[in-house]
């Protein structure tokens, strides 16, 4: 039962479409993070009520959050996924009624910190979900101990659950991820071309995947393979 069609709040419905249906625990990359990936999957299956997943950009926390949503929905659970960085102006009413879901997934909750009204909204949501035996999983850039929070009770709540900290992917792992994504799109991305893209981009997965989308469109239009000269001409490098 997909969260993208179950939200009563239109704003929730809009934000939930960011869920990546292709994200899974099986296609999660990063050798250093596999243990935490397995712990998270076990937590989902053992009805852990709160998980705090943190890590730097490109560590894979958003992928795992999406994978968690997909895994729970495959079990018939009702899940709400919200990407807080896509909200814009935050309205505490966004969290109204979320305790009706079996699990709530909040991406980038750092954006709620150091603001009393937002922190109180998160604190209230945490308590409502817990009192109803529902799961809350959040992602953030740093552990709770390193965050700036105004509400002491919220810090206490966020520090009481399962904490999983991810490490950044290596450049080699990012190249593997890029080639894997290309394969999913039906594209052949050779080692030389992948290395060229890695060298010229800022190497964040978000940018790498955005560049691949651009190249996919250009390749389809021009009926060209992803060679270094073609990539150079499309991206203006």
The domain ranges of the chain are 3-165, 171-235
CA distance 137 to 126: 10
Q: What is the pLDDT of residue 80?
A: 94
State which of 87-96, 114-123, 194-203 shows the largest mean pLDDT: 114-123
Q: What is the pLDDT of residue 169?
A: 83
The CATH number corresponding to 3-165 among 3.40.50.300, 2.30.40.10, 3.40.50.2300, 3.30.70.270 equals 3.40.50.300
Of the pLDDT bands very low, low, confident and very high (cuts 50, 70, 90), residue 19 is low
How large a percentage of the chain has pLDDT more than 90?
Answer: 62
CA distance 150 to 193: 48
Of the pLDDT bands very low, low, confident and very high (cuts 50, 70, 90), residue 5 is very low
Q: What is the pLDDT of residue 157?
A: 96
Q: What is the pLDDT of residue 18?
A: 53
Asked if residue 231 lies in contact with residue 190, where contact means CB atoms within 8 angstroms, the answer is no
Q: What is the pLDDT of residue 28?
A: 84
Q: What is the pLDDT of residue 209?
A: 87
Average model confidence (pLDDT) across the chain: 87
- Sheet of 135-140, strand order: 79-83, 103-107, 135-140, 50-54, 162-165
pLDDT above 90 (res 190): yes
Note the pLDDT tens digit of each residue in 40-92. 999 998 979 999 999 988 788 988 999 999 999 999 999 999 999 888 788 88
Q: Which of 228, 225, 172, 181 is nearest to 207 (CA)?
A: 181
Q: What is the pLDDT of residue 3?
A: 44
Note the pLDDT tens digit of each residue in 160-189. 999 999 988 888 888 988 998 898 889 999
pLDDT above 70 (res 122): yes
Task: Say which residues have a Cβ less than 8 Å from residue 10's Cβ, sequence separation at least 6.
Answer: none
Higher pLDDT, 110 or 13: 110
The CATH number corresponding to 171-235 among 2.60.40, 1.10.8, 1.20.1050, 1.20.120 equals 1.10.8
Query: Cα–chain-centroid distance for residue 155?
Result: 22
């Amino acid at each position: 039962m997909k969260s993208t069609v179950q939200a009563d709040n239109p704003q929730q419905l809009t934000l939930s479409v960011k869920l990546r249906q292709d994200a899974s625990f099986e296609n999660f990359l990063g050798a250093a993070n596999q243990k935490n990936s397995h712990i998270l999957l076990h937590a989902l299956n053992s009805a852990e009520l709160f998980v705090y997943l943190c890590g730097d950009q490109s560590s894979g926390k958003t992928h795992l959050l999406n994978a968690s949503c997909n895994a729970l929905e495959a079990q018939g659970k009702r899940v709400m996924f919200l990407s807080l960085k896509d909200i814009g102006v935050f309205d505490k009413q966004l969290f109204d009624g979320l305790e009706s879901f079996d699990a709530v997934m909040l991406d980038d909750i750092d954006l709620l910190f150091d603001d009393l009204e937002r922190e109180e909204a998160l604190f209230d949501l945490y308590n409502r979900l817990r009192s109803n035996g529902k799961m809350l999983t959040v992602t953030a850039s740093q552990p709770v101990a390193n965050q700036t929070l105004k509400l002491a009770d919220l810090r206490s709540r966020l520090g009481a659950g399962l904490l999983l900290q991810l490490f950044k992917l290596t450049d080699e792992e990012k190249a593997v991820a890029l080639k894997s994504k290309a394969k999913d799109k039906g594209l052949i991305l050779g080692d030389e071309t992948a290395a060229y893209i890695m060298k010229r981009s800022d190497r964040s997965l978000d940018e790498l995947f955005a560049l691949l989308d651009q190249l996919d469109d250009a390749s389809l239009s021009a009926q060209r393979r992803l060679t270094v000269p073609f990539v150079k001409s499309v991206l203006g490098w």
